[in-house]
Structure 1
Amino acid sequence: MRRNRLMRIAGLLLVMLIIVNGVMFAAGGKETAAETPAQQEFTIFARTGPDSSTWLRAVAESFTKETGIKVNFIEQGQSGYFTNLTNQLIAGTDTFDLAVTNSTYIGPWAYAGALAPLDPYLKNFKSDFDWDDMAFSYKIEGNTYAVPYSISAHILYYRSDLISESEIPQTWEEYIALGKKHTQSLNPNAKTKYGLAWTAKAGPEQPKCFYNYLWSLGGEIVENGKSSVASAAGVQAAKYIEEIVQLGITPPEIANYSYPEVLDALLTGTVAMAAPYWSAGFGDIQKSSSPYKDVIKVAMLPGAKQADGSIKKVSFNHAYTLVLNAKAKNPEAAMKYYEYLCNKSMQLAFAKDNGVPARYSALKDPSLNRAYFDVILESLQKTRFEPLVPYYLEQHDIMNNYLSAIMTKSMPSELAIKTAQSELQELYNQY
């Protein structure tokens, strides 16, 4: 009975709709206020910060003016951001359409089915989107899951008032030797208390820094499904870190240094160099009131000397990008913003706001600080990314555990890296 009543009501509503439409047609198709389509809108989940929520909000303002599409934001601070975002995506939330992430998480989320491929939308981009102009994208099994808007490459920062251009370290051995020269406990004439610093804190950064050493030495994390991080190259890479810590050429609390602490060490003149350190730091230095900001320069990371005398340099690279929630309510509107964010004018504006864009045309613009952006371009020629694999976060945890053991001197470097290799192999066997 109840079902029949609902069907009759639905039928009456349909008849009324037909009549209303007929009246509108007879009246020349005039649309009343009640029939105006609701404003399109979508939501971005973003981490608070200059290259995340701050920049994306600035872009959203002009995007809404041009398109009428409203952009809502859900923001969270850095602490616990990726854990919260992972939990929400895996749980199948639909409270946001796009989310800001770095490339670390793309593989695990995509394999878990929490992200939607972008290809159905990318093929309809009508602006100046050009694959040849994009530094890179993230593909898994032929599907594109992310196109970055901001690049983060590891480079070397140095005090040009203390270190001449001819002294810029080209190898890791030279880097460590120069660190000793600029550490007061080893050289009373040093102008800085410590020679160097890097983002050594366990968590998002520590393994990424290690991979610069490993890859430049010719090592790999995994080869042909076999853990190879404790190869001769891996053992040597671990020994570099051990030597730096044992020499005391870094601040004693280096094991707790993440991005802000390294930046502060540069701005206060505590260290003479920082590497591996993110390219984003240059913009923060330029915006600061540090008395050293004009003498802090950048260069390519050091590398490993090869048998033929050449030096192999590798710059670890991850990027900030938006990913499309598999449960997005308004994917079409969201992807229009994605297209707008990646166009040439927005990418160049980002560069002029001290960001590092992902389009070559912006990176090569002659109006930019060429001394800085030429280093970025060089790093892109020698860059490598973390693998887009389902087990990456678990691999990351294992590497953190044993690199931390080296940092805290609780395990010899060779034993630590060999134990890491054993645990990584157990992980790979599961996949």
Structure 2
Amino acid sequence: MSRVHIRSTLAAALIAALAVVSAGCAGWGGGPGGGGPDTINVLMVNNPQMIDLQRLTEANFTKQTGIHVNFTVLPENDVRDKISQEFSSQAGQYDVASLSNFEIPIYAKSKWIAPLDDYTKADTQFDQADILPPMTQSLTADDGKLYGEPFYGESSFLMYRKDVLQQAGLTMPANPTWQQVADIAAKVDNKQPGMRGICLRGQPGWGQVFAPLTTVVNTFGGTWFEKDWTPKVDSPEFTAAVKFYVDLVRAHGENGAPQAGFTECLNNTIQGNTAMWYDATSAAGSLEADDSPVKGKMGYVAAPVDKTKSSGWLYAWSWSIQQASERKDNSWKFISWASSKQYEELVGSQVGWSSVPAGKRASTYENQQYLQVASAFAEPTEKAISSADPRNPGVQPRPAIGIQFIDIPEFTDLGTQVSQYVSSAIAGQMSVDEALKRGQRLAEDVAERYQSRQQ
């Protein structure tokens, strides 16, 4: 998750350069361009797939529909803040925004975004049934209505060096347990000069270390909160999961683990400094890129488990319409184009199939042109997303939707504060018991608020 899905410094520089030269749009980070009924204003994150969309819109969508699109494009933290400000005020300046499956149920409950069900029922060409069910589920609010359409999505899986395990006489199970992963990490650790057994995020942040770690907590039988909001951060199951994770990364993980996030583990894997990596399925595209030193050497299997059948996370950058927008019909036309099968084919033909915003449609994983460039990881990616269950990710009922997060506004602060303690435990500056004892006190404050509302 950026947060779950974080980009390297080089990628960020390229994105900025592309955005500056993009034509037919509001400037980089500029305000809405206004316009009449045939113009919509879109506020979105600056990820590479979004920049491709920005460049392709005028010559394709606008040409086909006559609808002009003014884009405001910002880095992730900035765009989240701006979307929150704009949509909470319901000023209607922006019609469409890129939101993740973390924000959408929260925004829907606040009535900041419009339901899309009537549009999906009327627009048979869009083919809602082709959207992978966990994606639809994660973008559906408690009222049963759909409030977002995914642009691209991801889950998580285990990536490993096939050649390294083969040389060690080891076989990776298709559905490994965490104990099997730990055993393999111990056996391959330092077998090659400078290569550690596994890379796991240790960098503080609710979307950094706790993206993978919460999935470990889930599969070990733990949870942040029980159904009635009873906090369980220092429970035996939560504690066992965190101790396992901390012990594994301290014993066989990367150097500088307390500061390592998605980007650092990606670089370690590409540079041959780790034999395994558990993280976002979106990482595979970089590992299998034509210029990657590990292209063709990687294997991909399901996220490791303990007590659950699956444990991969679920994340999606998606489109939503501001409730106050006076141009909802044209906004839907843009969304239905940007999230369509036809748009994926456009990207494949004009940008390259490796750049297709995948992870949202079943048909993507039947497209032979896409599979030619993604054959190594397409099937395990689709399986990881399809097996994700955002409403039942663990062994007990939950009070809110979410796999690697709890879908409440307070989780960003709670998860980040507790992650700082866990990162300190990875650094050997604090015990796991003390880290989670402090985390429990923070969770109790959050729980008290929600429990009081239910009385």
TM-score of the superposition, structure 2-length normalised? 0.76
Aligned partners of 1:114, 1:39: CA distance in 2, in Å?
21
Query: For residue 415 of structure 1, what is the aligned residue in structure 2?
Result: 434
Matched residue type, 1:152: E
CA deviation vs aligned residue, 1:167-186 (integer Å, no higher than 9, x gap): 326121222233333433xx
Amino acid in structure 1 at the alignment position of 2:73: E
Pairing of 1:93-112 with structure 2 (within 5 A)? 93-112=91-110
| Residue of structure 1 equivalent to 2:208 | 205
- CA gap 1:110/1:377 in 2 versus in 1, 3 angstroms: same
Q: Distance in 2 between matches of 1:302 and 1:216?
A: 8
Could you report, residue by residue, the CA deviation over 1:78-106 in whole angstroms, capped at 9, with x for unpaired residues? 35332333233223343321111221222
Match of 1:18 in 2: none
Q: What SS does the aligned partner of 1:51 have?
A: helix
The AA in structure 2 aligned to 1:196 is I
What is aligned with 2:387?
382
Q: Secondary structure at the match of 1:392?
A: coil
Partner SS, residue 358 of structure 1: coil
In 2: Cα distance, 1:200 partner to 1:52 partner: 28
User: Could you say what secondary structure the match of 1:45 adopts?
Assistant: strand
Q: Which amino acid aligns with 2:217?
A: L
Identify the match of residue 402 of structure 1 among 418, 421, 446. Answer: 418
Q: 1:9-50 CA deviation, whole Å, 9 max, x = no partner?
A: xxxxxxxxxxxxxxxxxxxxxxxxxxxx96712121111122
Q: Which amino acid aligns with 2:325?
A: A
Tell me, which stretches of 5 or more residues in structure 1 are unaligned?
Answer: 1-36
Q: Which residue of 251, 261, 270 corresponds with 1:258?
A: 261
- Cα shift at 1:348: 5.2
For the residue of structure 1 that corresponds to 2:316, the secondary structure is strand
Q: In the superposition, relative to structure 1, how do residues 82 and 197 fare at CA in structure 2: closer, same or farther (>3 Å)?
A: farther
Percent of matched pairs sharing the same residue: 18
Report the residue type matching 1:412 in the other structure: S
The answer on 1:228 being equivalent to 2:232 is yes
Match of 1:139 in 2: 140
The match for 2:302 among 297, 300, 303 is: 300
- CA deviation after TM superposition for structure 1 residue 336, in Å: 0.5
Distance apart, 1:132 and its partner CA: 5.5
Superposition pairs of residues 15-414 of structure 1, within 5 angstroms: 40-55=38-53, 57-58=55-56, 61-131=59-129, 133-135=131-133, 136-137=135-136, 138-140=139-141, 141-164=143-166, 167-168=171-172, 170-184=176-190, 189-203=191-205, 204-225=207-228, 226-247=230-251, 249-252=253-256, 254-275=257-278, 277-287=279-289, 289-304=291-306, 312-347=309-344, 352-354=353-355, 355-367=357-369, 368=371, 369-385=374-390, 387-388=400-401, 392-409=408-425, 410-414=429-433
Residues 42-95 of structure 1: CA distance to partner in whole angstroms, max 9, x if unpaired? 121111122333245435642122212112211112353323332332233433
* CA–CA distance in structure 2, aligned partners of residues 42 and 69 of structure 1: 7
Query: Do the aligned partners of 1:63 and 1:69 also contact (CA within 8 Å) in 2?
Result: yes
CA distance in 2 between counterparts of 1:417 and 1:364 reads 44
- C-alpha offsets along residues 202-235 of structure 1, whole Å, 9 cap, x if unaligned? 2323322112112222333322222234333211
- Measured after TM superposition, the shift of residue 328 of structure 1 is 2.3
Deviation (angstroms), 1:133: 4.6
Per-residue deviation at 1:158? 1.4
SS at match of 2:102: helix
Amino acid at match of 1:205: Q
Per the alignment, do residues 333 and 104 of structure 1 end up closer, same or farther by CA in structure 2, a change over 3 Å counting?
same
- Residue identity opposite 2:180 in structure 1: E
SS in structure 2 of the partner of residue 321 of structure 1:
strand
Change (3 A) 1:155 1:202: same
Secondary structure of 1:315's counterpart equals coil
Q: Is 2:444 the partner of 1:425?
A: yes
Deviations 1:363-409 (A, max 9, x none): 23344134412102221343133844996231232233223212222
Give the 3 Å change call, closer, same or farther, for CA 261–340 of structure 1 in structure 2.
Answer: same
Question: CA 1:73 to 1:385, structure 2 compared with 1: closer, same or farther past 3 Å?
Answer: same
Deviation at 1:166, TM superposition (A): 5.2
Number of residue-to-residue matches in the alignment? 384
Query: Would you say the 8 A contact 1:363–1:373 is kept in 2?
Result: yes
- Kindly provide the CA deviation profile for residues 294-335 of structure 1, in whole angstroms up to 9, marking residues without a partner as x: 31332211111x5xxxx7331111111111122324221111
Q: Quick one: distance in 1 between partners of 2:217 and 2:345?
A: 34
Provide the C-alpha distance between the structure 2 equivalents of 1:77 and 1:167, rounded to a whole number of angstroms.
41
CA distance in 2, matches of 1:400, 1:364: 39
Question: Is the CA contact 1:45–1:73 (under 8 Å) kept in the aligned structure 2?
Answer: yes
Q: Which has the larger radius of gyration?
A: 1
> Using the alignment, how far apart are the partners of 1:221 and 1:154 within structure 2?
20
RMSD of aligned Cα (Å): 2.8
Pairwise CA distance, 1:191: 4.1
